[in-house]
């Protein structure tokens, strides 16, 4: 069948979020077979946990959700989408504004 390497159709803007707030990064990716997506913060894998969720909708819309943004979440997030046909990546900056 027709294979196509991953391609990001929509990527998030850089963000500045107050510490303690909710944050959501949405993006859209195409590719056949459907790409696997990984996130890295300053080179380390971002794991799903109570505060970090990775959501995929059936329309190819993906979200990285921060239930509560912490100071340690700040940095450069690299998103990598991979399938057998290739890979694509984008980077988005998250600045966390500390509580006074």
pLDDT band at 2 (very low <50, low <70, confident <90, very high): confident
73 lies in some domain: yes
Q: The domain containing residue 83 runs over which residues?
A: 4-95
User: Whole-model pTM above 0.85?
Assistant: yes
- Among candidates 20, 47, 26, 34, which has minimal Cα distance to 90? 26
Give pLDDT, residue 21.
Answer: 97
Q: Which of 24, 94, 27 is nearest to 66 (CA)?
A: 24
Domain count, the chain: 1
In a domain, 18, yes or no: yes
Phi, then psi, of 71 in degrees rounded to 5 = -55, -35
Model pLDDT for residues 30-69, shown as the tens digit of each residue: 999 999 999 999 889 999 999 999 998 877 799 999 999 9
What digits encode the pLDDT tens for the residues 6-15? 999 999 999 9
Q: Is position 100 within any domain?
A: no
Q: Which pLDDT score is estimated for 1? A: 66
Please report whether residue 8 resides in a domain: yes
CATH number at residue 59: 2.60.40.10
């Amino acid at each position: 069948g027709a294979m196509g390497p991953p391609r990001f159709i929509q990527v998030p803007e850089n963000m500045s979020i107050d510490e303690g707030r909710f944050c959501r990064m949405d993006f859209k990716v195409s590719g056949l077979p459907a790409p696997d997506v990984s996130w890295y913060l300053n080179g380390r894998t971002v794991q799903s946990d109570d505060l970090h969720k990775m959501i995929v909708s059936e329309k190819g819309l993906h979200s990285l959700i921060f239930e509560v943004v912490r100071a340690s979440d700040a940095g450069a997030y690299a998103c990598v989408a991979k399938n057998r046909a290739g890979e694509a990546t984008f980077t988005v900056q998250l600045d966390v504004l500390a509580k006074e």
